[in-house]
Amino acid sequence: MNLNISKLRNIGIAAHIDAGKTTCSERILFFTGVNRKLGETHDGQATMDFMKQEQERGITIASAAITTHWNDHQINLIDTPGHVDFTVEVERSLRVIDGMVAVFCAVGGVQPQSETVWNQADKYRVPRIAFVNKMDRTGADFNEVVNQMNKYLGANAVPIHMPIGQEDSFEGMIDLVNMNSVIFKDKERIVGPIPESMTAQVEEARRNLIEHVADFDDEIAELYLSDEDVPVEKLKAAIRMATIKLMMVPVLCGSAYKNKGIQLLLDAIVDYLPSPKDLGAIIAHDPDDEEKTVQRNPLDNEPFSALAFKLINDPYVGQQTFIRIFSGKLTSGMSVFNTNKGKTERIGRIFRIKAKEREEITEAGAGEIVALVGMKITRTGDTLCDEGSPILLENIHIPPAVIEMKVNLDDKKNRGKLGEALAKLCNEDPSFRAHYDEETEETIIAGMGELHLEIIVDRLKDEFKVPVSVGAPSVSFRETITAPFECNYRFVKQTGGKGQFAHTVIRFEPNPGNGFEFVDVTKGGVIPKEFIPSVQKGLQTAMQKGPFAGYPVVDVKCVLLDGGFHPVDSSDMAFQVCAQMCFKQAFMKASPALLEPVMKVEINTPDDYIGNVTGDLNKRRGRIEAMRRFRKGSQKVDAFVPLMEMFGYATALRNVTSGRANYSMEFDKYAPTPKDKQEEIVKERNSEKN
């Protein structure tokens, strides 16, 4: 099948947890004919939430991709999680979609995770439309949500719908573009005239819409100033252009659960969100020269380029690698070049995915999102391209893991099985880490939050059949230095035969916020060129486990000043060991310090409890950044709080606000730990080793 690229829509659905994203996706699948019955998140029957853990909790954990059709257009739909622990799922989905539907709860409005997702979409410059869901719920207020979008997100949100009734009396909406009413009864939409009682309101809302569009379209501005009517097709084209150029966000309304407004949402996806052709060429880098940029147009006759954005282990076909094709054509059996690995990989089977169902195809073209089976070396963020025209696409930002947990095997015979399972999970989820601690003989897993690790442990038990028991979650600290120190270290080892010799003089300096930096200023070949990388490698190895408390070392600049070598006894290994020993000796003399992860916390609380909430945050060493009026009777508190003080916060917040507040948190940065806490942590860590 030759796909007309202008009739393709790659879209994501994203929002705060519980705003109704997955219910919207399910209704889209129903009304486009993919599903014959409606799936619900609350009874575990949602097509898009097909993981056992998603069905048990009624939330989305992994972004699911599905292909469907509407009005002669192909829609590749990605449903993303709303919980901040799975923010990497949203990040990698936004990297490959062309447009987004942002779902807002008509009662909750702009919630903490709505802002996070919106900022991520801004970063990738993703055009979006907004759907105000749950208009049938008590407390629903369409205009208030639009105001919050403009106030808190700077969205330039403009309604193209006006609700007919709200809460219990919500029946449908006025379509301000086509100027008609749409009432929903038993999954059917009934299009009719505008009720007389609403004429004045509707005219004002339509005028507001045209005023906004006139700012971006001279022809519409002339018609508006001449008091002439704006033709529907002209208005649609102008809204589409303004949406694609991120100048406005059209806002629709409905109730996904009650089947109201989904067909109009599908119409808006087709009418206003871009095709790959609308967005034009993708900008990439030349692998041989990072400064040089390369363009690839979304055409089948261009050289092939694609980004691998997700890996899933499927029990039936094995590992599936999801890719977004940006240019060229992919056929099964062809060879592609993996730029990140510098190796060629052969394409096996190609699938178009329908959630847990799959349709095998022999070729796929520019703009498509497909899954590949049989890829051996490709991982998340890798660029696949034509070997004759190599390029490097922008990678996916992976935030650091901030929380750790010890995993113990109930039966030591399962050690190999556990290793295999963890390797597969690490491949699938780049924000998850796992390693074996030789000293304590324990397996440590690390991730983005308590729920993230809870899901991983569940999957180890259910999916991979590895019986494990877990310790309490703990914080993943970092070590650094706060003062410069110069170390002169000579490594000499005689073992009867050939000896080992290396000599390095290295100055270690604090490098706040800039990670590891290695600078070679040696002169006159005091250390041969071939051994300079050995010194760097030795330093990086030593920094994986700091001498202070065994945590990774960050933010250190290492300047190689001088050294010496032996023509026979010097080797790559000798310089690696010498650099490691030099680092360990210097580190403890350079005023070492522990860094702790600090979380950005956003709390929505009724006014009555604001004192309780701020008092509790102060007890947790929290720094309150801002307090703002959120909506009538409630406020939003922005604070920065160390992660180690946030364990069990959900329960504490429930207790101090009688269950009426909610919060969201995400990693912000690593910051120095207070001296007394630092001593406590180091003492505890050292006693664990002994």
Is residue 156 a contact partner of residue 213, using CB atoms and an 8 Å limit?
no
Confidence of residue 1 (pLDDT cuts 50, 70, 90): very low
Is residue 369 a contact partner of residue 322, using CB atoms and an 8 Å limit?
yes
pLDDT value at residue 529: 93
Span 542-549, mean pLDDT?
91
Task: Give dist(CA 299, CA 301) in Å, integer.
Answer: 6
CA distances from residue 189 to 181, 186, 202, 261, 375 in whole angstroms, order as listed: 10, 8, 20, 8, 45
pLDDT value at residue 49: 37
Least confident among 46-60, 263-277, 363-377: 46-60
Helix (H/G/I), strand (E/B), else coil: 513: coil
Task: Give dist(CA 88, CA 432) in Å, integer.
Answer: 10
Is residue 75 a contact partner of residue 11, using CB atoms and an 8 Å limit?
yes
pLDDT value at residue 315: 67
pLDDT value at residue 63: 39
In the numeric block, the tokens 């664990």 are attached to 688
Sign of CA dihedral 360, 366, 370, 373: positive
Kindly report, residue by residue over 223-262, the tens digit of the pLDDT: 988 888 889 999 999 999 999 999 999 999 999 989 999 9
Question: Strand 128-133 and strand 99-105: pairing?
Answer: parallel
In terms of pLDDT, which residue wins out, 89 or 578? 578
Q: Please give the model's pTM, rounded to 2 decimal places.
A: 0.71
Share of the chain above pLDDT 90, in %: 47
pLDDT value at residue 55: 38
First to last CA, the chain: 65
* Helix 262-272 vs helix 232-244: crossing angle, to nearest 10: 70
Q: What average pLDDT does the chain have?
A: 86
Strands of 110-222, DSSP E: 128-133, 157-159, 161-164, 172-175, 180-185, 188-192
pLDDT of 58 higher than 70: no
Neighbour-count burial for 425-441, b at 16+ CB within 10 Å, e otherwise: bbbbbbbbbbeeeeeee
Burial class of residue 676 in the structure, from the number of CB atoms within 10 Å of its CB (0-12 exposed, 13-18 middle, 19+ buried): exposed
Question: Strand 500-510 and strand 517-520: pairing?
Answer: unpaired
Helix (H/G/I), strand (E/B), else coil: 399: coil
In the numeric block, the tokens 């960050």 are attached to 554
pLDDT value at residue 61: 30
Q: Which 8-state DSSP code applies to residue 305?
A: E
pLDDT value at residue 455: 83
Kindly report, residue by residue over 146-172, the tens digit of the pLDDT: 999 998 888 999 999 999 988 889 999
Share of the chain above pLDDT 70, in %: 90
Burial class of residue 104 in the structure, from the number of CB atoms within 10 Å of its CB (0-12 exposed, 13-18 middle, 19+ buried): buried
CA-only gyration radius of the chain, Å = 28
Least confident among 64-68, 212-216, 457-461, 613-617: 64-68
What lies within 8 Å, CB to CB, of 203 at 6+ separation is: none
Task: Give dist(CA 1, CA 13) in Å, integer.
Answer: 26
Task: Give dist(CA 257, CA 260) in Å, integer.
Answer: 8
Rounded to the nearest 5 percent, the helix, strand and coil shares of the chain are 30, 35, 35
Neighbour-count burial for 262-280, b at 16+ CB within 10 Å, e otherwise: bbbbbbbbbbbbbbbbbbe
Span 193-204, mean pLDDT?
92
Phi and psi torsions of 78, nearest 5°: -120, 120
Task: Give dist(CA 355, CA 371) in Å, integer.
Answer: 11
pLDDT value at residue 204: 94
Task: Give dist(CA 461, CA 469) in Å, integer.
Answer: 10
Kindly report, residue by residue over 652-678, the tens digit of the pLDDT: 888 898 878 878 788 888 999 999 889
Instruction: Name, of 53-67, 342-356, 434-448, the range with top average pLDDT.
Output: 342-356
In terms of pLDDT, which residue wins out, 29 or 399? 29
Question: Strand 289-296 and strand 161-164: pairing?
Answer: unpaired
pLDDT value at residue 54: 34
Helix (H/G/I), strand (E/B), else coil: 2: coil
Q: Kindly report the number of other CB atoms within 10 A of residue 513's CB atom.
A: 8
Pair of tokens at residue 36:
């014959």
> In terms of DSSP H, where are the helices of 226-326?
232-244, 262-272, 276-279
Angle at 459 between CA 451 and CA 372, to 5 degrees: 110
Kindly report, residue by residue over 279-324, the tens digit of the pLDDT: 988 989 888 887 888 999 999 999 999 998 888 777 677 788 889 9
pLDDT value at residue 429: 80
